[in-house]
Structure 1
Amino acid sequence: MSSRPRKKRKTPDNDSDEEDIDGSDDDNTQRSGKRNARNPTGRNQHARVPPLEDIADQIRKYHAENPTFKYQDYMAAFMKDHGIKIGFAQLHAQKICDIGLSTSSRGNRMPKDEQTQLVLDELSKDPLQTRGPRVVKEALNLAGHKIGRNTISDIMHDFQEEGFLKRHPRSKKKTIFRTPLTSVGPHEEWSVDGHDKLNVAGFGVYGIRDKWGGTYLHYRVLPSNRYADVVGVVYLECAKKYGGVPIQGSSDHGSEVCDAHAVQVTLRNEYSDYDPVLIPAWEFLSSTRNITIESGWRPLFYTWGVNVLEFYQSGLNDGFFEPGNVIHEQTSNWIWFPAVQRSLDEFCHQQQNNHRIRKQPAKLLPSGGTPNEFVANPTAYGGEDCLVEVPKPVLDRLLEEARETAQEHMRFVDDDFDVLAQDAYKALGEPEITLQNAWVVFRDMIAQLDQM
């Protein structure tokens, strides 16, 4: 079988020919190179991807909020936020190689003793051992520490074996039966209610939860959750946070919702065209039917609240705190109310709004993602955003007026003492206050106040 002879390459016989072949600066060679390139402009059907430094922080945010790094769970939101399209392979390469992030399943070169210490630090925030490996993994992930679930489980078995027995379903009381819920999308209905199980320590809690995604929208620690003007402030704070009000609010028949009810009815009627007869702006329910928020109190108390009471009571039992001593009581309030609020915000963010809900095909509400994902990208889960937008200046004015009206019911220390406490705190170097060290800071501040 004959083959076509290959054409021999021309051998340069002078300096000019040799220069043409090397093609360092020759125009003809440059033009020839462009002709031979398949895509000399480098442009194709794909949209231009911004430089990595422009989107690195956003990638880190999505990476932190997705413990399992599931591309399909957050890619739609990523592209929507930036107006770009980017392939999984390219994002993964940028994420792993250029930014230095890694998944928990591989690429984690953290020493075992360091992983163990991080897990133990997280467990120290939960003295009653209410959280399982999955919740601990999510908390560590949001803090930027990628540790595998199996590794966390092994560490917890080594150091807190009894916690697994406490969390076993047969060791708990049966939960309240939940009736099926339906909703069109986020902000169709906000469910509001108060929680009283921390009142023994002086902390009232009031919360607002979204019906569609189960998102903990706005939860506040208050001296009392029984005043209508206080609940009105909480409702307006939530409205300002999201830029509007829902189509409908819902609550039980408690008198404390009067101001919130008035805000909802007024703003919805002013800034939407919904018929108040066909779709009431507010629905009053019995406590057993106000299931959206009622069903959330049990995990809040038995996962977060019991630990708050444990840390708080431990300081009362050591004998240093003097009941009836005004300075001691004011200092305790000054330290504990903000500390409990920060802890509550962390609980809502880590253990609720970024907690992945397993896929449930029979469920009428969204599943297979986190509540934050349900709100950020409702169309991906078959919903639509129902928020009734209200101009920011209007919300700012109403909130300022409501806070002025409710200031006496929301104040947990006197104004004069607040100034004094601020000075003592600065003298201590403004240490970070957590539930674990709150009573240590209390002792130091009492000693500082005695010298002032």
Structure 2
Amino acid sequence: MFCPYCGHNVGEVVKFCGSCGKHIEFLAFVDNGSIQENISIEDLIQKYFRDGYSYNEILDILALKHKQKISLTTLKCKLRSLSLSRKKHYSAQALIRAAIIEELKGPGQHYGYRSMWQTLRQKHHLSVKRHDVMVMMAELDPSGVQKRSRRKFVRRVYDSPGPNHTWHVDGYDKLKPYGLAISGCIDGYSRKVLWLVCGATNSNPEVIAQHYVQCASEFGVIPVRLRTDCGTENGTMAAMQCALRSSHQDFFAGAASHMYGSSTTNQRIESWWSYFRKQRTQFWMDLFSDMKEMHLFNGSHEHMCLVRFIFMAVLQRDLEECKRKWNTHLIRPVSQSRCPSGKPDVMYYLPHRFGGRDCGLAVGHQELSQFRMSSTPNFCGDPHLQEHFEGLNSGFSSSQTLESCVENYIRLKRLAGL
């Protein structure tokens, strides 16, 4: 048997709940969810009155559900004998205040004064005016009252003590149908893009791990925490982060230094992808879509390898330009943000100017060398096609501009018979 007020398992029915102290003797008359006939009419009246039923509703429930027909006069007499009244015998203000404070410690902090008034009557068995509850709520929870008055959903605010506290890593798949996969990482505090790399894949754990190692080697630090989604491509990188943090003694040392989560909650990098699409990738998506409509691209493995062979260098140069532009642009202040506003590069390298501190943990090249790969991934994604395309392209200048890339793509496609 469970207490209907707090959910505590009371075992055998007793007079009062051992957890919340509420009167639960009436549970002795409950069998399989229905109230038996031998419960007294006084207990029924008391229960339904405290649940907020009106006089006429109580009379109808007693008559239809419990076969107890009484008059309105009899009901009022029994209520007087039980000292139950909605307009008299109000509870002490100290008891009401204590009950409100108790509710504000839990889910009740989101209640409006009407919900709190109902909770006080049903859960705490207090007789109180709704106006008095409204006044006390304004006094005890002014910030909550102000938020509810705006009638807006209050989102959690991202908070970070400084750069290199949390790195957010994710893959970008909008160009994957054309053979181009992008991986990115952003610092949570400064919003500085740490790496933005285009390759044949962003789902190979070794490739993603090497991006992490190269970034840590470039900046000479590893983050306090690493945040990724639950994709299998992040497993090796997560293991590296935990291994490098295993000798530290802080709260997030060892396995706690990496955090898995859904893509929707990896908000820093996910929100940046929105900007990235508007500023950069929409152009490339339109370009490859036009090539597809002109029957120059059909989505086959060979066509994807040819796209990577021709366009990857130009696309990577464009990504570097996008990263440089973002890291030096001015981020405007946001009212709900706890992170500073300014240029990402300045916030990253000069956090003391914004009230932050560099949280990065120094790491040496010797520590990182044990994680380096002996060979680099094939540029084209297929070593045989890579060799074939290089042979066909020998004697021709490399593609330096977008126009020359398209021309070389058409020429190599014709020479390769694709």
Q: TM (normalized to structure 2)?
A: 0.56
Report whether the alignment pairs 1:400 with 2:367. no
Q: Which of 340, 345, 348 matches 1:366? A: 340
Could you say which residue in structure 1 is the equivalent of 2:163?
186
Distance 1:279 1:322, change over 3 A: closer
Report whether the alignment pairs 1:236 with 2:213. yes
Q: Distance in 2 between matches of 1:394 and 1:432?
A: 38
Letter in structure 1 aligned against 2:271:
S
Q: Which of 382, 392, 406 matches 1:439? A: 406
Instruction: Count matched residues.
Output: 265
Q: Distance in 1 between matches of 2:239 and 2:407?
A: 43
Could you say which residue in structure 2 is the equivalent of 1:354?
328
Secondary structure of 1:334's counterpart equals helix
Instruction: Encode CA deviations 1:40-66: one digit per residue, 9 max, x unaligned.
Output: xxxxxxxxxxxxxxxxxxxxxxxxxxx
Could you say which residue in structure 1 is the equivalent of 2:317?
342
Q: Is the 8 A contact 2:180 2:308 kept in 1?
A: no
Could you say which residue in structure 1 is the equivalent of 2:359?
386
Could you say which residue in structure 2 is the equivalent of 1:283?
259
Secondary structure of 1:182's counterpart equals coil
Q: Is the 8 A contact 2:208 2:234 kept in 1?
A: yes
- How far off its partner does 1:379 sit? 1.4
Distance 1:433 1:421, change over 3 A: farther
- For the aligned residues, what is the CA RMSD? 3.0
Higher RCO, 1 or 2 (CA under 8 Å, sep at least 6)? 1
Over alpha carbons, which structure has the higher Rg? 2
- How far off its partner does 1:378 sit? 1.5
Q: Distance in 2 between matches of 1:376 and 1:276?
A: 23
Q: Distance in 2 between matches of 1:254 and 1:264?
A: 16
Distance 1:363 1:332, change over 3 A: closer
Could you say which residue in structure 2 is the equivalent of 1:300?
276
Distance 1:354 1:424, change over 3 A: farther
Q: Distance in 2 between matches of 1:377 and 1:189?
A: 17
Q: Which runs of 5+ in 1 are unaligned?
A: 1-175
Q: Distance in 2 between matches of 1:252 and 1:431?
A: 36
Q: Is the 8 A contact 2:309 2:379 kept in 1?
A: no
Q: TM (normalized to structure 1)?
A: 0.52
Q: Distance in 2 between matches of 1:177 and 1:299?
A: 24
Report sequence identity in percent.
23
Distance 1:209 1:323, change over 3 A: closer
Q: Distance in 2 between matches of 1:290 and 1:218?
A: 16
Could you say which residue in structure 2 is the equivalent of 1:414?
382
Q: Distance in 2 between matches of 1:445 and 1:319?
A: 15
Secondary structure of 2:195's counterpart equals strand
- How far off its partner does 1:191 sit? 1.0
Distance 1:201 1:419, change over 3 A: closer
Could you say which residue in structure 2 is the equivalent of 1:7?
none
- How far off its partner does 1:301 sit? 1.7
Secondary structure of 2:226's counterpart equals strand
Please show how residues 108-119 of structure 1 align to structure 2 within 5 Å.
none
Q: Is the 8 A contact 1:250 1:283 kept in 2?
A: yes
Q: Distance in 2 between matches of 1:343 and 1:425?
A: 23
Letter in structure 2 aligned against 1:343:
D
Secondary structure of 1:274's counterpart equals coil
- How far off its partner does 1:201 sit? 2.0
Q: Distance in 2 between matches of 1:177 and 1:338?
A: 44
Q: Which of 170, 185, 194 matches 1:208? A: 185
Secondary structure of 1:191's counterpart equals strand
- How far off its partner does 1:319 sit? 3.1
